[in-house]
Amino acid sequence: SGPRRAIQTTTRAVEPTLPGFVYVDARRGSTRFRLYHDVLSTIGDDPVPEHGIGTDELADKLREGVRTGPDIVVAVDHTNEPETPDATTVVDWLSDIGGHISPVCLGRDPPDAIEWEPDESVAFEPYRRHVLVELLTSRCSTGLGRDAISHDQIREVSEWADGDAHDALAAIAGAAISAERAGASTIRPTDLDAGIEEVPKPGVALGRVLALSESRRRLLYELVSLPEDDRASVSAATETIASRPAVDLSASTVRRVLYELADAGLLDRVTVSQSHGKGRPPSRLIPRFPTLVFRELFDRPSWPA
């Protein structure tokens, strides 16, 4: 037989193309227009106009942008809240752009609770206590003065929060506000108690309140700033709020908006007494979000208009 021939091959290494990543907060981008605008602003180099352009035109520009670039993973946070679109709607909006976008929806409810069947689902468990302690220690070292809060106090908050970082951070922020108002350089036990007391459990994330329109934030601010007597009933609260110089709304409009906020879960309607007459017993409105931190943020000059 003849000599064996060697077959020589060469391969060229090809660098894999990694997908792009875009984060969108559904609280800030709750419409199809806003979602497309936020994604296009992230992946493009040119500024995207806020006005004078329609949703369909934005969709066309986004299709062109993803067609000529790498595939995009779009993570949409806080879906399925009363003020935000549900996961199915978000997926439909992004799927309409084409196959170059992979949507990821994040929310607090499991898929079966919202009648959604995603291709894949990942569950995140609450923080374990020691992990939450480490997280709070890191945040406090950045946001508070040296030795402003003790390690034992951080552990106490972590135990109370039961794995919820939002509640823990809100309680510590409230405690720091209480200490600052008293002129103290460290968080005292009374300050920590005050911070914890102002975080309802179960409650609503402060981010939902901060994402509301300015007019609705104003009404909530006026509500939580009322003396206890003026919050004794919905009628008393609405009349007092409507009389405030910063509120340019009638009492009936204030009442309607507050009821809408209650329907959205930001306020609780609680019956205050039994009535022997006709009609519904009087009720009062109880905030379900961290009020001490909210008032402080609203009073800050940097609060967005």
pLDDT of 273 reads: 67
pLDDT at 12: 61
Q: What is the pLDDT along the chain (305 residues), one digit of tens a residue?
A: 455 555 555 566 656 777 889 999 999 889 999 999 999 999 888 888 888 899 999 999 999 888 887 889 999 999 999 999 999 999 999 999 988 899 999 998 888 888 888 888 898 889 999 999 999 999 999 988 888 999 999 999 999 999 999 999 999 999 999 999 999 999 999 999 999 999 999 999 999 999 999 999 999 999 999 988 888 889 989 999 999 999 999 999 999 999 999 999 999 988 876 655 566 677 889 999 999 999 999 988 665 54
Alpha carbon distance 271, 30 (integer Å): 33
For residue 76, give Cα distances in angstroms to 39, 65, 89, 133: 10, 19, 11, 28
Domain range 20-114, CATH architecture: 3-Layer(aba) Sandwich (3.40)
For the chain, the average pLDDT equals 88
CATH fold of 206-299, please? Arc Repressor Mutant, subunit A (1.10.10)
Q: What is the pLDDT of residue 3?
A: 54
Q: What local confidence, expressed as pLDDT, does residue 4 receive?
A: 54
- In single-letter form, the type of residue at position 66 comes to V
Cβ count within 10 A of residue 297: 18
In CATH, the number for domain 129-197 is: 1.10.8.60
Buried b (16+ CB within 10 A) or exposed e, 4-16: eeeeeeeeeeeee
Distance CA 212, CA 27 (A): 8
pLDDT at position 305: 43
pLDDT digits (tens, 9 = 90+) for 80-122: 999 999 999 999 999 999 888 999 999 988 888 888 888 888 9
Instruction: Specify the pTM.
Output: 0.81
> With contact defined as beta carbons under 8 Å apart, do 175 and 194 qualify?
yes
Domains of the chain by residue range: 20-114, 129-197, 206-299
CA 195 to chain centre: 20
